[in-house]
Structure 1
Amino acid sequence: MTTATAAVAPHWDQTALGFLAHGKSTPAHLEAALSEDPDFALGHAARGLFCLLLGRRELIGTAEQCWKVAVASAQNAPITRRETAFVEALRAWLDGWPSRSADILDSALVKAPNDALLVKMVHAIRFVLGDATGMRRSIETVSKSYDANHPAYGYILGCRAFALEETGEYKAAEAAGREGLDHAADDAWGLHAVAHVHDMTGNSENGISWLESRPASWAHCNNFGYHVWWHLALMYLDRGDADKALVLYDTEIRRDQTDDYRDISNAASLLSRLEIEGINVGGRWDELAHLSDQRAEDGCNVFADLHYLLALLNGGRRLGAERLLTSLRERALQQGDLARISKHAGVSTGAGLEQYRLGNYASAYTMLTAARGDLFQVGGSHAQRDVFERITIDAALRAGLSDEAEGLLHDRAHKRGAFDSFAERRLAVCERMRKASLIMEDERLRATPA
């Protein structure tokens, strides 16, 4: 890398390892590197990409400034092709094309497969885009370049585990995630990839044991730690222990009540799932709605928007919900990846969530299913997007569309690999609705004229 002093190197190494481990100390290591060399172009470009990954409107200006400093630094001291890729990737995302940003970084990986931070950056951007196939392709391209002698080997296995899980290779995903932790005990991403496998295969008991036996693997985390707690709460809910899920919500998932979109998403998703199960969540929506109201027009991430919308609708912030929906519709008319995602998945899903909250369940079902095939584009994981699947199925049942609900349940199980408790309970409801319909259609039970 290009830098005025070798003193940058140890801080940069810790930045890379921190990013791989989702460590809360990562920003401090990066700032230490930049303080050693204020013209460290690679550091500024990475900082800009970190800002954009956070999905906050106020950080776009910061990311723009990072790009300008990186470009100026590169003009003063020419940088390598690999470093240039980071700068170009930052520009592409700032211009509205994170997909191009990921492509640029993937191209750089061809000549620099051992750069683990580069691998993780591609992985993170494609995750935001819901591009599971791209994540899998990227990680498989570089996997053979890593072995136990590489300091990032365990983290690379964790990335591979998650990519395998998101593309349905559950057995291989679990094996890779477990092996990764043998080499990097703080690989929270690999730990959570195995938790995803348990979620997708309906194995909540083993999932609970897996997470609860390894608390040290995510104790060091930034807000990603809240997400791991969220996974644990989902497993307790699947087991039927809603009280435990609520305790985890209060004591861990919303312990700090931040307005980070990932934290809001964890919370809104869990509360929605609880309410679908008939659980009274009290006034917990109020706090989320208040924070989401201030983010209603951020427009940085459709996944974030849809979770803000859940909070606004359920927290009674009608005007905030309208502002967010208007922003989605306006964005769908623009250019760039966000416009495409808003048009294909965001607008219809947002409208469906609004209709669901209003009690117009047939309309909600129609709108939600219209976007269902494209919903992966909003980003996140299968497990995270499953809240929208559950709402769609619940809308169908409430609208009396038992056949449609059953079809969704079977399709969901096919994609996930198994029926979970949620599906089993709804299939029983579908069966009762079918029997009731047959009884109502029985001519022998109809009243006859006197």
Structure 2
Amino acid sequence: MRTDICTCPVTLSSADALEDWNAMIVAFLAHGTQTPVHLGALLTAEPEFAMAHAARGMFSLMMGRAELVETARQALASAQDLQRQTEITAREAGWIVALARWLDGSPTGAIAALEDVLATFTADTLTAKASHGIRFILGDSTGMRASIERVLSAHGDDHPCRGYLLGCHAFTLEETGEYKAAERVGHAGLALAHDDAWGLHAVAHVHDMTARPDLGIALIEDNTAAWSGSNNFRYHVWWHKALLHLDRCELDVALGLYDAQIRSDKTDDYRDISNATSLLMRLELEGVNVGRRWAELADHSEKRVEDGCLVFADLHYMLALTGAERGSAQDAMMARFARDAKKSGDMPVRIANPGEAALAGLNAFAEGRYDVAFRHLATARPAMQSIGGSHAQRDVFERMTIDAGLRAGRFNEAEQILHDRLAVRGGNEDRFAAVRFDKINYARRIPAQ
């Protein structure tokens, strides 16, 4: 039996097919544009390879698009048919179980299946990255870190994918507040995997969270090889750069990056929509008039009202809808949340809490009902990590909560959230926090009328 780049046995019959499989693994780890190309070539050459079908299904679900759920179901059916017809490895069978569980509404069950695979195949970087990705979708930062650290020892200096695993480790360290270690591990990973966009972005997160925008901007500009050739993840790196310029109060630069890079392709990928909507909202909170930019995002978001794949995506769609004042679509989203919250499964739980409260808060904020917005957003806060994404991505909702509190005159409560936010960032005060603390101190000096 042949062995792939992760030192795992694979039921592939030809060297060419193995080459496609290995190329697909590296492209997936690097967020490369060629992932579907290599996977497609492999499925054409060896359509009887069950794990390739399972991978196609898993990658489809990671896209967070309702129409791709059927693609994933078809991939599962193909994989299961092949499993019944041929002998496959435990790793390949584990991926089929993971896909089936996710389609059954349990991404947590999918993670458990992938972790079972990793317990046997500890050098399996592909499975480690897949588990990492699903945990990221669920906001499980401690689980992400534990998972990666369990397989670190199997990724020694001679492992061809070690750099990519270090990039994942760096991100988990950053998301769990170990900023110095994250920066060190991230740079070590980039030295081995020069095209690791995820590892680069992990270090960019560190500079964001530690309020060092100059270093973050330099990091991104000096390491274009790590991300310029990646898939739409490159827009996310541009987004990080815009946030760093925002922290330097270079609002015009941030808006310029929005037009020239972040929305250079007007896609409806939820990750691209989230980059765009969260940046526009941050700019609006700083008093920038973003003009009609909301309308383009709302046009895409209106078509996603009934998707219901990810709460993280839905809340960013709602930012677009409220920004463009699409009242009927906002109402439809609220109604769909109310329906979905009554269902069973990992996502309905998150829709019920914090989704419904957060959604109501976004609506109220857009309508200028800041006290109501604050109450709803503050109610959602304790569970917001469960919607997935990173601290930096969810920070747009934290900023809106704080600003809603300030506009509603809830200075003590807003101040406490600012201190909570400061603690998560290791005590490093960014410009947003400094400006808001100044506003609170100024307001307290004004005598009551």
1:27 to 27, 31, 36: 36
Q: How do 1:301-340 residues align onto structure 2 when only pairs under 5 Å count?
A: 301-340=310-349
Deviations 1:148-193 (A, max 9, x none): 2111010000000001100011011000100001001001100000
8 Å CA contact 1:361–1:399 kept in 2: the answer is: yes
Q: Distance in 2 between matches of 1:324 and 1:203?
A: 38
Matched, 1:367 2:383: no
Which whole-Å deviations, capped at 9, do the CAs of 1:332-354 have from their partners, x for residues lacking one? 10000011111111110000100
Give the one of 113, 120, 123 matched to 2:129.
Answer: 120
Q: 2-side partners of 1:328 and 1:157: how far apart?
A: 38
Aligned to 2:448: 440
Between the aligned partners of 1:383 and 1:333, the Cα distance in structure 2 is 30
CA distance in 2, matches of 1:158, 1:194: 9
The correspondence for 1:423, drawn from 430, 433, 442, is 433
2:407 to 398, 408, 416: 398
1:351 aligns with 2:366: no
Equivalent in the alignment of 1:78: 87
**Unaligned stretches of 5+ in structure 1?**
442-450
Query: Please, which of 10, 28, 43 is the counterpart of residue 52 of structure 2?
Result: 43
Q: Distance in 2 between matches of 1:247 and 1:222?
A: 21
Q: Point out where structure 2 has 5 or more consecutive residues left out of the alignment.
A: 1-9
Q: Normalising by structure 2, what TM-score?
A: 0.97
1:6 CA displacement: 3.7
| Alpha-carbon separation, structure 2, partners of 1:119 and 1:428 | 44
Asked if 1:384 is matched to 2:384, the reply is: no
- Give TM-score, length-normalised by structure 1: 0.97
* Residue deviations 1:290-346 (CA, integer Å, cap 9, x gap): 010011111101000000000001111111111112111211100000111111111
Aligned counterparts of 1:287 and 1:245: Cα–Cα separation in 2: 18
Aligned to 2:215: 206
CA distance in 2, matches of 1:407, 1:128: 28
Q: 2:241 aligns with which of 226, 232, 248?
A: 232
Letter in 1 for 2:287: G
**In the TM superposition, what is the alpha-carbon distance from 1:382 to its structure 2 partner?**
0.3
Q: Which runs of 4+ in 1 moved over 4 A?
A: none
Aligned-residue offset at 1:440: 2.5
Aligned residues: 439
The percentage of counterpart residues that share the same residue type is 50
Q: What secondary structure, in the 3-state scheme, does the structure 1 residue paired with 2:120 have?
A: coil
Q: Distance in 1 between matches of 2:123 and 2:437?
A: 48
Letter in 2 for 1:210: L
Matched AA of 1:431: N
Equivalence for 2:7: none
- Alignment check: 8 A CA contact 1:148 1:183 kept: no
Q: What does residue range 262-281 of structure 1 map to in structure 2 within 5 Å?
A: 262-281=271-290
Which residue in the other structure is 1:177 paired with? 186
How large is the Cα RMSD of the aligned pairs? 0.8
Structure 1 position 90 matched with structure 2 position 102: no
